[in-house]
Structure 1
Amino acid sequence: MEKQKNAVGRRKEAVTRVFLTRGGGKITVNNKDYKEYFSLGYLQNQLEAPLKTIEGADKFDIKINAVGGGIKGQAEAAKLGIARALIEVDPEYRPALKAAGYLTRNSKGVERKKFGHKKARRSFQFSKR
């Protein structure tokens, strides 16, 4: 891998651009260390999961630009982006990442509000009289 590889990950309203280069395992999200940006442990594990699957946690430096959505959506979008970028580096990683479920785009989003309702499904209180 001579130059950097990049990929896009999406989840809910969050979009992340992932840039992968050879390095020592440094992960930055919006120019901050990922442990500072994603303060919760399970969100940090989301980012590390594809790297642990291919046993390459210290082989790549990862730079992530995250936009939109919430912190959890951004973490899951970054996980998908990292997995896609790893496949660009080496297609041999695909079966392991696919089996772990890291290449599936979770398309669930927010349901739209319907007219005559308070929210998407919640109706106004019914009054018989």
Structure 2
Amino acid sequence: MPRKKENQYIFAVGRRKTSVARVRLHKGKDQHVINDLPVGQYFPGEEQRKLWTKPFELTKTEGKYFITVKVVGGGKRSQLGAVIHGIARSLVKLDEESFKQTLRKAGLLTRDPRMRERRKVGTGGKARRAKQSPKR
């Protein structure tokens, strides 16, 4: 029985808040896919398209590679941030010397450490809100 040829890819993980994106970077021209949906359907809108294509534009690799992504957790905005982080990390694995400095300057390789602040006891339901005090 003939063995199937394995599709070669570069794997990287991107994170933002509670979202985790597992990114596979494949060589060739194919449709970008996120969670089994075309990327235009998963992240509709021009603003979002500009953001997720930024790593490809900075490294001048658009059209040479395509991505398949599984992303879980968080909201759409943090998932977008995780996907961008994962794409940037996979491009660095592809060619570290030329891409790392470019992507680092653009801030795409830095994991954003900001997380949701925990809710505190006695604050009236929110992290920083103080309970209302009686006037008299």
TM-based fold match above 0.5: yes
Which deviations, in whole Å up to 9, do the C-alpha atoms of 1:60-118 show, x marking residues without a partner? 01001110100010001100000000011111211111111111111111101111102
Tell me how far 1:15 sits from its aligned partner. 0.7
Counterparts of residues 25-64 of structure 1 (less than 5 Å): 26-64=31-69
RMSD after superposition: 1.3
Q: 2:107 aligns with which of 78, 101, 105?
A: 101
Tell me how far 1:25 sits from its aligned partner. 5.2
Flag the structure with larger Rg.
2
Partner AA of 1:116 in structure 2: G
Which piece of structure 1 moves more, 40-49 or 84-93?
40-49
Which deviations, in whole Å up to 9, do the C-alpha atoms of 1:21-48 show, x marking residues without a partner? 1011531110111110001322222210
Misfit runs of 4+, over 6 Å: none
| 1:121 paired residue number | 128
| 1:19 paired residue number | 24
Secondary structure at the counterpart of residue 89 of structure 2: helix
Tell me how far 1:3 sits from its aligned partner. 2.2
Q: Distance in 2 between matches of 1:26 and 1:38?
A: 14
**TM-score (normalizing by structure 2):** 0.89
**TM-score (normalizing by structure 1):** 0.94
Q: Distance in 2 between matches of 1:61 and 1:38?
A: 16
Q: Structure 1: 5+ residue runs without aligned partners? A: none
Q: 1:88 and 2:93 equivalent? A: yes
Which piece of structure 1 moves more, 51-60 or 89-98?
89-98
